[in-house]
Structures are given as C-alpha cells and as structure tokens.
Amino acid sequence: MSECIKYDVVLVGAGPANLTLAYRLLQLAKKPIKIAIFEKGKAVGSHLLSGAVSNPRVISKLFPNWMNSDFPLQGIVQESNLSLVSARRWENLPSFATPPYFKKEGYAILNLSDLATYMVRQIKELEQGKDGAIVDVFPGFAATSIIYDGNRVIGVRVDDTGDDESDICYGNVISFGDKGFLSREIVTKFNLSNNPQIYSVGVKEVWETNESYEGKVWHTIGYPMEPGHFGGGFIYGCKNNKLAIGMVLSCAFQNPNIEPPQILQELKKHHYVQDMIRGGKLIKYGAAILPEGGYYSMPEKFAVDGAILLGDACGTLDVKRFSGVDKAMESGYQAAESVLKALEDGDFSGTALGLFQENLMNGWVGQEIRNSRYFRQAFVDYPELNKKVIPGIIDSINAGKAPWYAVMKMGIKDPFGSLELLNAKKMIENPSDKGPVVYEEDRLSVSKGFKKAEKESPVGFDHSLLYSTADVVFYANTHYEEDNNHIDELDANVCANCIKEYDAAGYKTPCVGDCTADVHQTLDNGDYRYHSMALENCVQCRTCEIVCPNSNLRVNAAMHGYGPDFSGM
C-alpha cells in the first residue's frame, strides 16, 4: 500500500456540485489539502449538458464579482414566458396567469460546460495562491468502479492496466457528483433509498440564428407532448445569436417509443420556432437525463463511510422550479464544511461526513425541495391533469379560444372532477403533508398495449430545419475508438425475448424507441432478431438503462475520454 496513489478528497465527475465543493474546500482549508478531480469527458465540460436557466444565488456567493468578470454568462433573463402551445397556435401567458415558479426574470442563462471550464480555472487560480493546496484534474479518466474496505468506500478504479497500484486512486473522502453511473451502486449497496429515482430525458439543440433572442426564454406546455406524458419544451435565447431549444420528457410514460430527438423536431415544426431558426444553422446536439423524483427519491443519508453524494447523485434537482444547477452547487457548498472537519478530525465515518445533510435540508434547498415534494406525484395521482385538462386547454387554444374557456367548460361538464383538480393544484402549489409517496420505476410504466393518440401536426414547416436522429447525432461530435464497450447487455436471451414481444405488439423495444442517439438496434441473424448497439453514436444519457423493461442494460462510464463533446452546450 505504500506505493498507492492517494488524495484527501477524490471527486467523481467535474460537474457543478463537485466543482463547488472543490472551490469551497480551497477557500476554507487552513491546512494543506490534496484534491483529485476525475472527469470521464475528454475535457472538463465535454459531458455536461443542461438547459440552463438558473438562479445565480450560489454563483454569486462563490464569485461575488461574477457579473463583471470573464464568467461565461449567456445572458440574464429579461423576458420569461410560459407558453401554451398547440399545433397551430402559441400563447405566451400574461404574467398574472403565470405561476411564480415559472417566472425566471433576473436568472442567469448558462451553458453548463462553459461554467465547469470556468470553475476549474478559478479552482486552479485559488490553488496557486494557497500554500500546500493541490488540485489535480484528470479529464479523460472515468471512475469505473468503487473500491471498498469492508463497508467503507476507500477509492475508485480509474484505469485498466491490470495493476491495482496504478489503476486505483484512493481517497479519504470520495465525493460522487455523477448522474448515477457509479453512485447508484452506493445507493443500492447501502440501502439508502426505498423509493426508486425517476427520470426525465432532456434533448437539446443549439442553433445559431439570424436574430438575437438574448435574455428571452420560453417554457412550453402542450404541443408536441402526447396527452398523459409529463414534460415540456424550452427555448433559451443566448448571446452571440445562439438559441437553445429543448424538450424534457418523462421516462415514466406508457409509450415504448418516445423517440426524444424526434419530439424535439416536432416542436421545431411549429411556426413560432420555425420563425426563429429559419436561415440559421444547427451547431450542437446533446441529451442527458434528469433525476426528477425530488424529495422522496433522495437517499436517506447523503454520506456513507468514506463517501458523500452530491447534486444529481443525491437527487437534489427540483423539477417544479426546473432548478438543478443551483441546488447541486449548494450541495457542494454545504458539504465543504463537513468534509473539512472530517479531514481535520481524521473521522471519515458516514456520520461525520454527513453533517452537511442537516444544513442543506434546513436551508433553501431543503425548503424548496420539500415544497415541491408532491409536484411530480400530482400528475400521477391525478392523471386527468395531463391526459385531459392540459390537452383540453391546448385544444381550445388551437380552436382560437382563450385558455380559461376550456377550464370553465370542464367545470360545468364535470364539477366533481374539477374539485379533484383543485386538490391536484393544492398538491402542486401549497402542499400539506400527506406522507411519503412511492414511485414506480420508470421502466414499469412502459406498456406494449399503448395506443398513440391522433394529433394534429403543424403544416407549412421547412423540412431543412429538421433532422433525423442519425443526422442530429453528428452534431453531438461523439468520438469512440474500437476498444470501447461501455454499455453492458446482461443477457442476450432476455433481449431476444423482449424484441419478440415488442415486435408482436408492433413497437420497437424501449431501448431502440427511446434512444436519443440511434445507438440501439434490432438485427436479424436468420433465426431470430437480436439486440445490437452502435456505441459510437452514444451520447451517454443512460436512458436505455432506465427504460429497459427487464433491467437488462447497464450504461457504464466510458473510458479514455470517449463520448460526446458538449462544449458550448
């Protein structure tokens, strides 16, 4: 063990949570501290993707001068729209009718990959000015498995030369800020949650447009969402005539073939979006998952012996407020004190490391996540909301009527149902305690008997602004070499049977139908159809693992920096 490589703190993933932790540790540390940052992307930020419109509350805490520095700001929201969208119409709701959590004026428009690059630069600067502080960043080195000593996390494997001494990085504290690639193992092994995490998948395109929309943002409800499908669209105007267009789609939906990139194309067919992107060009494409279970999907403990969970690994995202980045950063901010104290005392037990949990949950993160705790469940308990109410409103808009016309009509036709809806509204807006909710795993929602609803499509759109999934993946700039093999198919027979069942039902299997990058395919070998993967396309969103009905796929962190290049996303 004398030769082994060891740091005080090892960060798994260079995302906003872990980078905040690193920055904060350097700010607070009074003694020498040695930090390693592992990032599976070929560069810091190359696997980071988010909307992102974010409350800058943690950014301004970390970098008080951020507004007047080289901080990579894409814009400040001047005009925040909640838009009701039908195939023919696009209604931006007046401010009085917009719920407060949809009002984003004054928020920062960010691209997460640039934010991470900036933060690493700041961290390195802080390191320079601090005696005994060491921060080593290892881009292109993915932590691929966790090393335990009994029940204590002591390190991560980051290379595969076959020699443990060279392949393992040990740490007193391992901080997981990943989207589950590794941290799901901690949650399972230590039995930290009896409620599964549920996910949405987000797809996003960045366009360069003729006009500038800087500071304008839209969040959409309605078209092109299927009735009953939880999710919506977003359009964020960034500087330099860039426009981010995206859809966020729940993985908990009956339809086995969501085809996320194609739903995004549907949104782009709308004349309102067409007008913005006509004459422009597509710059980038990407996809990522969002843990949206919220309060009740969070682990009971945010720390175990030797390790902590931050950001998406901890499930701090607040789906009601679309607030992920700031809460992830705050988790890192709060964790710094516990980690430092643990280092000072030499006590790396889960109890010592987990002291920050209380601060985090008593602060604004906890308050907001608690306030949102039934938001997602309201759409499960009152499926009518998504199946009838919203589609009803959208239909009346499509017919040229005011949104409240539909609400009134429903009230007259079904007064009792409307009262029920008031309960749903209460769950969303002002929840009183009704005990914990238990989610069903996303994959269990998928139904072979799903019937797609007939829906109206926009007409007169410009085809050249739309992309097939195979085409759009080109803009994710993925790079893999032949030694890559980052998705495990656990049992080929399970896949063959699944394909048989879905073929009979007239659907593609969920892995094929929900893939954001045309990775999964079913091929015929003459005797039967089997599952195959074009891994060179993969943008590492992990959707296939989540929707696989048989939990037969496992997406691991790809090594050697393989994967997409989301820089600028």
Partner 1 sequence: MSDELKIVVLIKQVPDTSSVAGVNPDGTVDRARAKRMINPFDKFALQKALELRAEHGGVIIAISMGPPPAIEVLFDAIEHGADKGFLLSDKRLAASDTLATAYALFKCIEYIKDVDIVFTGLQTTDGDTAQTGPQIAERLNYPQITYCEDLIVENGKVKASRIIDGGVQKLEAPMPILVTVANSATRLEHKQFANVYRSKELLRDEQAKKERIQLLDLDKINADPKKVGLVGSPTVVGKTWKIGEKGGSCRLFKGAAVSKEVETLVDCLSTEGRGIEEYVR
Q: Do residues 257 and 198 touch, judged by C-beta distance below 8 A?
A: no
Contact 512, 520 (CB under 8 A): yes
Q: How far apart are CA 478 and CA 474, in angstroms?
A: 7
Site for partner 1 contains 240 (CB under 8 A): no
Task: Specify the residue, 91 or 514, whose C-beta has the smaller distance to partner 1.
Answer: 514
Closest-CA residue to 220 (of 293, 261, 273)? 273
Q: Using CA atoms, how far apart are residues 274 and 507, in angstroms rounded to an integer?
A: 30
166 touches partner 1 (CB under 8 A): yes
Q: Which is nearer to partner 1, 241 or 477 (CB)?
A: 477
Read off the tokens for 267: 């949104």
Pairing state of beta strands 33-39 and 133-139?
parallel
CB of 461 to partner 1, least distance (A): 18
The residue assigned the tokens 């494409």 is: 285
Cβ nearer to partner 1, comparing 184 with 560: 560
CB of 267 or CB of 282, closer to partner 1: 282
Considering only the stretches 163-171, 250-258, 336-344, 447-455, report the one whose residues sit in contact with partner 1 under the rule CB under 8 A.
163-171
Smallest distance from partner 1 to CB 144, Å: 11
Q: Report yes or no: 65 and 72 within 8 Å, Cβ to Cβ.
A: no
Q: Give the helix ranges, DSSP H, for 346-414.
A: 350-353, 356-362, 364-371, 375-381, 384, 390-398, 403-413
Q: How far is the CB of 85 from partner 1 (least distance, A)?
A: 27
CA-angle at 143, arms to 138 and 146, nearest 5°: 140
Of 138, 333, 348, 374, the one binding partner 1 by CB under 8 A: 138
What residues numbered 452-511 form the site for partner 1, per CB under 8 A? Answer: 467-468, 470-472, 474-475, 477, 479
Per the structure block, which two tokens stand in for 383? 């499926």
- Which of 109, 169, 378, 385 is close enough to bind partner 1 by CB under 8 A? 169
Cβ distance to partner 1 smaller for residue 303 or 535: 535
Stretch that binds partner 1, among 157-165, 241-249, 290-298, 313-321 (CB under 8 A): 157-165
Q: Beta strands of 238-363 (E only): which ranges?
A: 242-250, 281-291, 303-304, 307-309
Measured from the CB atom, is 244 or 355 closer to partner 1? Answer: 244
Cβ 468 to partner 1, closest distance in Å?
7
* Shortest Å, Cβ 392 to partner 1: 36
Residues in the chain: 569
Number of Cβ within a 10 Å radius of residue 167: 18
Residues in 539-568 at the binding interface with partner 1, rule: CB under 8 A:
559-560, 565, 567
Q: How far is the CB of 530 from partner 1 (least distance, A)?
A: 14
Residue 141 touches partner 1, criterion: CB under 8 A: yes
Q: Looking at beta carbons only, is 107 or 141 nearer to partner 1?
A: 141
Rg of the chain (C-alpha set) = 23
Q: How far is the CB of 159 from partner 1 (least distance, A)?
A: 4
CB nearer to partner 1: give 277 or 317. 277
Spell 232-250 as b/e; 16+ CB within 10 A means b: bbbbbbbeeebbbbbbbbb
Smallest distance, partner 1 to C-beta of residue 559, A:
8
Please give the structure tokens belonging to residue 26: 């350097």
CA 215 to chain centroid, in Å, comes to 22
Q: Kindly list the residues in this chain that would bind partner 1 in the complex (CB under 8 A).
A: 5, 134, 136, 138, 140-141, 158-159, 161, 165-167, 169, 282-283, 467-468, 470-472, 474-475, 477, 479, 518, 521, 559-560, 565, 567
